[in-house]
Amino acid sequence: MRAVTGAGILFRTFLRRDLLTVLWWTIGVTVLYWSQAVSVDGLYATQAEFDKAAASMEQNAAFIAMAGPARALNTTGGQVAWQATAFGAVLVGLMSMFLVGRHTRVEEETGRDELVRSGAIGRHAPMTAALAVTLLANAVVGLVTSGALLGYGLPAAGSWAIGLGLFLVGACFTGVALVAAQLTQGARAMYGIVGAVIGTAYALRAIGDVAENGLSWLSPIGWYQAMRPYADESWWPSLLLLAGFAVSVLASYVVFGRRDVGSGVWAARPGPARAGRDLRSGLGLAWRLHRGSLWGWSLGLFLGGLGYGSIGDDVGDLLGDSDTTREVLAAGAADLVDGFYGAAGVMLALIAGGYAVSASLRARGEEDSGRVESLLATGLSRTTWFVGHSLIAVLGTVVVVLASGVGLGLGYAAVTGEWDRFAHVAVAPVSAGAGALVLIGLTVLLVGLVPRWATAAWLGLGFCVVVMMFGPLLKLPDWLVDVSPFSHLALVPAESFAAGPYAAVLAVGAALLAAGVVALRRRDVH
Amino acid sequence: MGNVIEIAGLVKKFGATTALDHLDLEVSTGEVHGFLGPNGAGKSTTIRVLLGLLRADAGTATLLGGDPWREAAALHRRLAYVPGDVNLWPNLTGGEVIDLLGRLRGGLDEKRRADLLDRFELDPTKKGRTYSKGNRQKVALVAALASDVELLMLDEPTSGLDPIMESVFQSCIDEFRDEGRSVLLSSHILAEVERLCDRVSIIRAGRIVESGTLADLRHLTRTAVSAQLAADPHGLDSLVGLHGLVVEGRRVEFEVDSARLGDALARLGEFGILTLTSQPPTLEELFLRHYGDEVDTSEPEDEADS
């Protein structure tokens, strides 16, 4: 046991650092499952309506690819298992990846691990403590989720299967993360590997579920869904998850025993000794810093658009005859399909707002980390530097919004075969996207005026989300709703594009942005 | 011979704390000017005002004959800066950073770049996140020294370097000065300042308390003297500027203000000097005289360090 001496102390230290993080993940995952139950029960007034909607969903290959095999869809439990398990598994996978990463690879990268290891600590203690903490976090997520579903009144066996499966699929990805942590020297590369494994697991089950060719049996997420929660539970697939966990953890311990602390099995690859042509200006550097996240967001929003679009004309079946559904999901529009895509456009534009805020905050990140000092001590003026970052945020937001629109149009046209309606659907996020540009203006102004509080820009996005998603339900006063730029933009294609308000919203965004640049020119940089 | 840096009555406040309190500083062309002071005295704040990163609340600052705030970018093409705490972009290699900073300054000397990489034994293919503190500092030093500039501003540039690299750094600075160019070297490593600097300014609590050549400053300090005399001395205590006189028979020990050293030795000569040792003042003593005796707890924090 000398190899794990001190693991107990480390376990308690890690736990203290992780308490809040695990709490948020637990809340997030639990709400994902629980809200499905609530929303399903709110959508359908009668069982007949429910049966009809379920029958149409079972036929939709896009839904099955996104969620999983369709089982018992005319029950609340069946709907919860269908809509939440795939995403729930991805979430616990990501949680496990971040927890393992922060206590292994990140610690080694920052050199803190070395300090810890100089104490009376066994060779395998940090890793073992990280494993224990992550397993505990997954157990908590599983238990609380089961508890919430039981509390909601769903059948006991299914609720326990949901929680147990979550725990085990999380444990399985914990093992994967531990193996990945041995391979690379950098934490980011490790996250890349685990992300790719989770993505592959999701894709394998998507293909397998649609084609029914058995590929789902190669995926831990598939094993989880094979436990059939709320649909005549089957418990033996949990053994597959357990085996996956055991094999990967064992492998990680063996590999760890053969490598040096601080390095990975794969040696860090050297980079270019000279800068390329791109690194010639402030804008060039800004582009280099932004491009990775821009491609990520573009791809994500393209796939999001594709997902919405692939629902096609089935909107009517999906919504059933309930008035509440029509109000919430189709903005009460006369043409249900157009109304749905109008609402989807706003949703995608709000997500693009997330990119807009994070991209606009990058300049502040550069300042906060002290890197900007070296830059501004060169011939690069602070205006050029800041405008460069803001320009990329603006153009990047345009790209992200367009990607979501193209995805939406493609998904719709591919499912319905109505290619002539591609543009009709694709423009939906473009109209609402002007609101995201106002969020850039807000963020830039905060960075220019009150840099320490710049992250408050996220509250601006949060406010817009609340107003747009829950405004009618919460019966917010008109003046408050009007503060959100998204409220003024036409719900294309349900409403026709309104150029006046569109230009006005853009003008407000531009004015805020200009004010932010002027403010930054006048303040201290530090 | 003009001045590359002229600062008069500079005031910089961060909220309620005063970081710079009527600071005056002059660095003339062709000199290596040591900027001495402990952490938090205002060294980095002064440099950041000179770089146009911070805006002065009062006073004037002139850099290379221009206004550091309004003409920042144009002036920066003529200088290079090495921060005390070098932060690199985690995904950029050292070589990329050197090229980037050089290009933004208007180009760098290819031959010198290669030569410096060699002398500092720096691997330019490693990513920013994998460099140690010393290596990050080397990246910034190579980027600065490979540029063709008139002025170097260095903020504690050697705090992470090993002794071998420190001597490489020192010879680089010597070469730089030999070409008639100027350096402002902020430091608290006294040996380095003594070795490199022509003139020194000592900053305390946001003000310059002492400024001049090392010889000037030494003049202000005391030299320790001990001597064995041929005859019994008398009347030594009437000498001006003598401190801590101890007479044991024909053996004397005392400290004397360096300006009065000649008088004291002349008097000793009257009694016949058999042996004599004298200890010249070090910068360290000078420094301690300003900082050592009294620990002023109300010293303003250098907020820009945060």
- CB B124 to CB A185 under 8 A? no
- CB A370 to CB B87 under 8 A? yes
The whole domain housing A504 covers: 282-522
Mutate to test the interface with A, among B86, B100, B116, B141 (most CBs of A within 10 A): B100
The DSSP line for A479-510 is: HHHHHSGGGGS--TTTS---HHHHHHHHHHHH
Q: Choose the most confident range, by mean pLDDT, from A41-45, A157-161, A474-478.
A: A157-161
**pLDDT band at residue B27 using 50, 70 and 90 as cut-offs:** very high
pLDDT tens per residue across span B237-260: 888 888 888 899 899 998 888 778
Pick A179 or A323 by higher pLDDT: A179
A274 falls within a domain: no
Stretch B149-167: mean pLDDT? 91
pLDDT tens per residue across span A88-107: 999 999 999 999 999 998 88
With beta carbons under 8 A apart, name residues in chain B contacting A108: none
Residue A42: partners with Cβ closer than 8 Å, 6 or more residues away: A324
**Residue B34: is its pLDDT beyond 60?**
yes
pLDDT tens per residue across span A475-518: 888 899 999 999 999 888 888 899 999 999 999 999 999 999 99
A364 falls within a domain: yes
pLDDT at B96: 95
pLDDT tens per residue across span A445-457: 999 999 999 989 9
Of A93, A103, A269, residue with least CA distance to A194: A93
**Stretch (H or E) spanning A401:** helix A382-416
pLDDT above 70: percentage of residues in chain A: 96
**pLDDT band at residue A330 using 50, 70 and 90 as cut-offs:** low
pLDDT at B301: 42
With beta carbons under 8 A apart, name residues in chain A contacting B155: none
**Residue B37: is its pLDDT beyond 60?**
yes
- Whether residue A329 sits in one domain with residue A216: no
Pick A183 or A333 by higher pLDDT: A183
**pLDDT band at residue B294 using 50, 70 and 90 as cut-offs:** very low
- CB A377 to CB B54 under 8 A? no
Cα dihedral A351, A355, A357, A359 in deg (nearest 10): 180
Last residue of a domain, one of A214, A243, A258: A258
pLDDT tens per residue across span B183-224: 999 988 778 888 899 999 999 889 998 898 887 877 777 788
The DSSP line for B163-185 is: HHHHHHHHHHHHHHHHTT-EEEE
Structure tokens at B41: 């005295």
**Residue B295: is its pLDDT beyond 50?**
no
- CB B106 to CB A279 under 8 A? no
A272 falls within a domain: no
pLDDT at A329: 56
- Whether residue A304 sits in one domain with residue A226: no
Q: CA of A452, closest CA in chain B: separation in Å?
A: 12
**Residue A195: is its pLDDT beyond 60?**
yes
Average confidence score pLDDT of chain B: 87
- Whether residue A397 sits in one domain with residue A286: yes
Topology adopted by domain B222-280:
Alpha-Beta Plaits (3.30.70)
**pLDDT band at residue A78 using 50, 70 and 90 as cut-offs:** very high
Average confidence score pLDDT of chain A: 89
**Residue A319: is its pLDDT beyond 70?**
no
A264 falls within a domain: no
- Whether residue A82 sits in one domain with residue A26: yes
**Residue A269: is its pLDDT beyond 60?**
yes
Q: Inform me whether the C-beta atom of residue B112 falls under 8 Å from chain A C-beta atoms.
A: no
- Whether residue A135 sits in one domain with residue A12: yes
Does pTM top 0.95 for this prediction? no
Residues B1, A511: Cα–Cα separation, whole Å? 48
Q: Tally the domains of chain A.
A: 2
CB count in 10 Å sphere of residue A191: 20
Instruction: Please list the alpha-helical segments (H only) found in A118-236.
Output: 125-152, 156-183, 187-211, 220-225
Residues A75 and A110: beta-carbon distance below 8 Å: no
Please report the ipTM that was assigned to this predicted complex: 0.81
Range B3-217: architecture per CATH: 3-Layer(aba) Sandwich (3.40)
- Whether residue A242 sits in one domain with residue A115: yes
**Residue A332: is its pLDDT beyond 60?**
no
A31 falls within a domain: yes
Backbone φ/ψ region at B206: left (φ over 0), alpha (ψ -120 to 50), beta = left
- Whether residue A207 sits in one domain with residue A118: yes
Pick A371 or B300 by higher pLDDT: A371
Q: Inform me whether the C-beta atom of residue B150 falls under 8 Å from chain A C-beta atoms.
A: no
**Stretch (H or E) spanning B21:** strand B17-28
**Residue B138: is its pLDDT beyond 80?**
yes
pLDDT at A115: 84
**pLDDT band at residue B140 using 50, 70 and 90 as cut-offs:** very high
**pLDDT band at residue A326 using 50, 70 and 90 as cut-offs:** low
**Residue B297: is its pLDDT beyond 70?**
no
Considering only CB atoms, A270 lies closest to which of B91, B125, B306, namely: B125
Last residue of a domain, one of A243, A258, A273: A258
- Whether residue A382 sits in one domain with residue A336: yes
- Of A6-20, A70-84, A324-338, B292-306, the one with minimum mean pLDDT is B292-306
- Whether residue A349 sits in one domain with residue A302: yes
**Residue A142: is its pLDDT beyond 90?**
yes
Distances (CA, A) of A283 to A287, A294, A526: 6, 15, 20
Question: Where do you find CATH 3.30.70 in chain B?
Answer: 222-280
